């Protein structure tokens, strides 16, 4: 396996994923962990926010150099190598962040099968100005900064740029060269190994005790549930809270998939009336979110207390949630209070199990495929915890929910029929309180205005409105106004995020 030593880079998990994608098993450890080199065939030193000359900045673990294993240092990892072997590192006033072009100066195994000049992604303030004795410079940036150096004999390689970031044109080639040509790792690690490993791990942790999960029907909690079910069977208690704010037929689909098809011990709680009563007269978006989040926890706790002997809580946390919650520290302003069905309850005295914590969305989907989850669940667009409540502007009522469900279903079906569902990241309809005049069957109709929204996005952080062809929008609009008489007008939302958010509330 390949060992990644983390010095605090924001890209470390991405690096681990890229190595997994190449087919090598990688393990991430922290620089101050006790590091075991059993079965390790190569080491990558990650980037990090520190400067090597700062006091208390992390240093190279000693046993690593003695091991004589191939080493690749990236960014901060590069500076550590430079310093350790007697090179010179300097801090520049102005850093280099973003795309830069590098030129290959000398042959390197790392750069086999790349162009002589290509774009790379930089993110640093410190630069190596002199490489240690016995090392040679293999590439420089256009500004003359050393972009890579190495000691081929000792198999020590250093890169100033980030090969794991997609903007580095030959990033994958470089990592492959290191893993396959330099570390000589040829065994192909597959996601099925991860699945087997996790199942064993969960079985060991839970033993013959019981675990509970709040199933939402979304990708992450679904995959976490099946994975745990494979490990402990009926000792997993799944609870699905139907808050009445779901899409058409959603509750039924979840029940038939998990209970009837997979045989999971699933309790479906019909709490529609409870939620609607709480939401009566509420129009403020943040209040809606708060009410739904709190009520959700209350319902879940009530159900969970019936399973008195549960010791573990399973959550479908994935890697992007981990970064999100790390980022939502003091400094970032609160835009909306996201309520996640996974974000459950702090004072229940349950031990957490998060089997998907280090995986990226596409890997979670692949795990789901391995476990036999249907495509409709795995490739479903994201759906917010507060559901349709934040897509009905103003007060949420049963009548409005029914209208929106019909409109949303028509839009989604039109996208699926035309092959557009899988091309956009997320699509849905919004019901506004605006009423406009229309003419239906020669009669005046004073109906609602709905907006369709479809976006292209990576992980929901930023988004652009999708350029869906006019005829697809036309088809959706005609069907909606024909089939839902309460709606007289359909518009398409053409705002990106930022400045807008994806959801309207
Ligand atoms: P926004 O509207 O913040 O949405 O641009 C970004 C992504 O997050 C989803 N979203 C939520 N997901 N609980 C969730 O689990 C929430 O409260 C919530 N609010 C928004 C939204 O659907 C989009 O995919």
Any bridge partners for residue 96, and if so which?
124
CA distance 60 to 68: 14
* The domains spanning 2-182 and 191-378 adopt the same CATH topology: yes
pLDDT recorded at residue 332: 46
Q: How many whole angstroms separate alpha carbon 229 and alpha carbon 202?
A: 10
Alpha carbon dihedral 189, 190, 192, 197, in 10-degree steps, equals 30
Q: What secondary structure, in 3-state letters, does 216-282 show?
A: CCCHHHHHHHHHHHHHHHHHEEEEEEECCCCCCCHHHHHHHHHHHHCCCEEEEEECHHHHHHHHCCC
**Probe target for ligand 1 pocket from 216, 220, 503, with the most ligand atoms within 8 Å of CB:** 503
pLDDT of 345 reads: 61
Question: CB neighbours (10 Å) of residue 186?
Answer: 10
Q: Which pLDDT score is estimated for 247?
A: 97
Q: Give me the pLDDT at residue 459, please.
A: 74
Active site residue 311: no
C-alpha 483/C-alpha 472 separation (Å) is 16
**Ligand 1 atom nearest 340 alpha carbon:** 15
Contact 96, 122 (CB under 8 A): yes
Q: How many helices (H) and strands (E) does the chain have?
A: 14, 18
Q: Is 166 exposed, middle or buried (0-12, 13-18, 19+ CB in 10 A)?
A: exposed
Cβ(502) – ligand 1 distance below 6 Å: yes
CA atoms of 303 and 441, how far apart (whole Å): 50
Catalytic-labelled residue, pool 124, 150, 164, 295: 164
Peptide bond into 274 cis (omega under 30): no
Q: Is ligand 1 within 6 A of the CB of residue 28?
A: no
CA 369 – CA 430 distance, rounded (Å)? 31
Does residue 291 have a cis bond before it (omega within 30 degrees)?
Answer: no
Separation of alpha carbons 379 and 134, rounded Å: 52
In sign, the C-alpha dihedral spanning 85, 91, 97, 103 is: negative
ipTM of the complex: 0.98
Two tokens, residue 384:
């917010």
Q: If we measure between CA atoms, which residue out of 4, 89, 83 comes closest to residue 46?
A: 4
Question: CB-based contacts of 26: which residues, under 8 Å, 6+ apart?
Answer: 1, 2, 3, 4, 15, 16, 19, 20
* Ligand 1 pocket check for 386: Cβ under 6 Å: yes
Distance from the first to the final alpha carbon of the chain: 46
**Angle subtended by helix axes 219-232 and 361-370, to nearest 10:** 40
Q: Which CATH architecture has domain 2-182?
A: 3-Layer(aba) Sandwich (3.40)
Residue 328: how many CA atoms within 13 Å on its side-chain side? 12
Show the CA angle centred on residue 10, arms to residues 7 and 13, nearest 5°: 85
Pair type for strands 136-141 and 2-6: unpaired
Instruction: Output the residue whose Cα is nearest ligand 1's atom 10.
Output: 384
Does residue 385's CB lie within 6 angstroms of at least one atom of ligand 1? yes
Residues 6+ apart with CB under 8 A from 388: 245, 246, 247, 396, 401, 404, 405, 408
Angle CA(252)–CA(254)–CA(255) in degrees, nearest 5? Answer: 65
**Residue 246, pLDDT score:** 97
Catalytic annotation on 164? yes
User: 3-state class of 414 per DSSP?
Assistant: helix
Residue 343 near ligand 1, beta carbon < 6 Å: no
Which residues contact residue 25 at a Cβ distance below 8 angstroms, ignoring those fewer than 6 apart? 1, 2, 187, 189, 193
Residues belonging to the binding site for ATP are 216-222
Confidence at residue 54, expressed as pLDDT on a 0 to 100 scale: 85
Q: How far is the centre of ligand 1, averaged over its atoms, from the C-alpha of 384 (Å)?
A: 5
Q: Which of 109, 146, 144 is nearest to 131 (CA)?
A: 146
DSSP 408: H
CB 398 within 8 A of CB 229: no
* Domain 398-492, classified CATH 3.30.300.10, yes or no: yes
CA 140 to ligand 1 center in whole angstroms: 42
Ligand 1 atom 9 nearest Cα: 384
394 lines ligand 1 (CB under 6 A): no
How many Å lie between the centroid of ligand 1 and the Cα of residue 271?
22
Radius of gyration, alpha carbons of the chain: 27
Of residues 211, 218, 208, the one with CA closest to residue 240: 218
Whole-number Å distance between alpha carbons of 246 and 401: 9
3 state DSSP class of 109: helix
Domain ranges of the chain: 2-182, 191-378, 398-492
- Report how far ligand 1's centroid is from the alpha carbon of 21 (Å): 28
* Mean pLDDT (10-residue bins), the chain, 505 residues: 90 90 88 88 93 87 90 95 93 83 96 96 90 96 94 96 93 96 88 94 95 94 97 97 96 95 96 98 96 92 88 90 59 56 63 91 94 94 95 98 98 98 97 95 93 90 94 98 97 95 96
Under CATH, to which class is 191-378 assigned? Answer: alpha beta
Q: Is the CB of 339 under 6 A from ligand 1?
A: yes
């Amino acid at each position: 396996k390949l060992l990644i030593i983390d010095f605090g880079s924001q890209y470390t998990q991405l690096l681990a994923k890229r190595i997994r994608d190449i087919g090598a098993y990688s393990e991430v450890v922290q620089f101050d962990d006790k590091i075991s080199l059993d079965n390790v065939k190569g080491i990558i030193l990650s980037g990090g926010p520190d400067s090597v000359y700062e006091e208390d900045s992390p240093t190279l673990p000693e046993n690593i150099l003695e091991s004589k294993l191939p080493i690749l240092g990236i960014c901060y990892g590069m500076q550590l190598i430079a310093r350790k072997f007697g090179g010179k590192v300097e801090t520049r006033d102005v850093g280099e962040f973003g795309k830069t072009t590098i030129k290959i100066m000398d042959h390197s195994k790392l750069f086999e099968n790349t162009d002589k000049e290509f774009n790379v992604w930089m993110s640093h303030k410190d630069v190596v100005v002199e490489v240690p004795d016995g090392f040679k410079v293999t590439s420089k940036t256009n500004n003359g900064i050393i972009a890579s150096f190495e000691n081929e004999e000792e198999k020590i390689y250093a890169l100033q740029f980030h090969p794991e970031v997609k903007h580095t044109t030959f990033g994958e080639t470089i990592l492959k060269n290191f893993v396959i040509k330099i570390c000589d790792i040829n065994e192909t690690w597959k996601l099925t190994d991860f699945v087997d490993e996790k199942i064993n791990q969960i079985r060991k942790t839970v033993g013959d005790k019981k675990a509970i999960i709040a199933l939402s029907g979304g990708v992450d909690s679904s995959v976490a549930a099946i994975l745990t079910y494979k490990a402990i069977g009926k000792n997993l208690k799944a609870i699905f809270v139907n808050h009445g704010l779901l899409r058409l037929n959603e509750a039924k689909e979840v029940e038939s998939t998990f209970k009837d098809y997979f045989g999971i011990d699933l309790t479906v709680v019909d709490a529609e009336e409870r939620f609607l009563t709480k939401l009566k007269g509420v129009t403020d978006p943040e209040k809606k979110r708060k009410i739904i989040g709190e009520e959700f926890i209350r319902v879940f706790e009530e159900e969970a207390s019936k399973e008195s002997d549960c010791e573990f809580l399973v959550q479908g946390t994935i890697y992007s949630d981990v970064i999100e919650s790390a980022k939502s520290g003091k400094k970032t302003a609160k835009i909306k209070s996201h309520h996640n069905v996974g974000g459950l309850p702090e004072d229940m005295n349950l031990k957490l199990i998060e089997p998907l914590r280090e995986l990226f969305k596409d890997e979670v989907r692949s795990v789901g495929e391995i476990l036999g989850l249907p495509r409709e669940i795995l490739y479903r667009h994201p759906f917010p915890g507060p559901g349709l409540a934040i897509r009905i502007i103003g007060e949420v009522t049963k009548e409005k929910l029914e209208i929106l469900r019909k409109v949303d279903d028509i839009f989604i079906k039109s996208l699926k029929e035309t092959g557009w569902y899988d091309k956009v990241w997320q699509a849905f309809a919004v019901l506004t309180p605006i009423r406009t005049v229309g003419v239906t069957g020669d009669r005046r109709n004073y109906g609602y205005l709905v907006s369709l929204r479809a976006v292209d996005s990576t992980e929901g952080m930023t988004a652009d409105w999708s350029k869906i062809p006019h005829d697809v929008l036309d088809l959706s609009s005609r069907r909606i106004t024909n089939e839902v008489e309460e709606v007289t007008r359909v518009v398409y939302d053409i705002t990106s995020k930022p400045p807008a958010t994806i959801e309207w509330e």
